[in-house]
Structure 1
Amino acid sequence: MRRLLGILCLALPLTAVPATQSLAAATPSDWEVSVVDADQSFRGLDAVDRRTAWVSGGSVSGGAGKVFRTTDGGETWDDVTPPGTEGLSLRDVEARGRNTAVVLSIGPGEDSRIFRTTDGGATWTEAFRNTEADAFYNCLDFYPGGRRGLAVSDPVDGEFRIAATDDGGASWEVLDDVVMPDSTGEYNFSASGDCLTIAGRTAWFGSGGEAARVYRSTDRGLTWTATDSTLTAGEAAGVFALAFRNPQQGVVVGGDFDPEATEPDGTAYARHGRTWTAGGDLAHLGEDVAWRRGNRLIVVGESGPEAGTSVSRDRGRSWEQLSTTGFHTLDCTRDGACWAAGGGGRVGMLR
Structure 2
Amino acid sequence: MGDAVREGDAQAFAELTDRHRRELQVHCYRMLGSFDDAEDLVQETFLRAWRRRETFQGRSTVRAWLYRIATNACLDFLDRRHRQPRPLVVPTVSRAAKPGRTSLPQVEVPWLQPYPDRLLDPAAPSDGEPDTALVAKETIELAFLAAIQHLPSRQRAVLILRDVLGWPAADTAALLDGTVAAVNSALQRARATLRQHLPRRRMEWSTTTDPSHEERAVLQRYVEATERGDLTALAALLSEDARFTMPPEPTWYEGRAAIVECWAPALVGPAGGKDWCHVPIRANRQPAVAGYVREPGRARYRALGLDVLRIEGGEIVEVTAFPPRVFAAFGLPLTR
What TM-score range do you get, normalising by the shorter chain? under 0.3
TM-score normalised per structure 1: 0.26
- Greater share of helix: 2
- Greater share of strand: 1
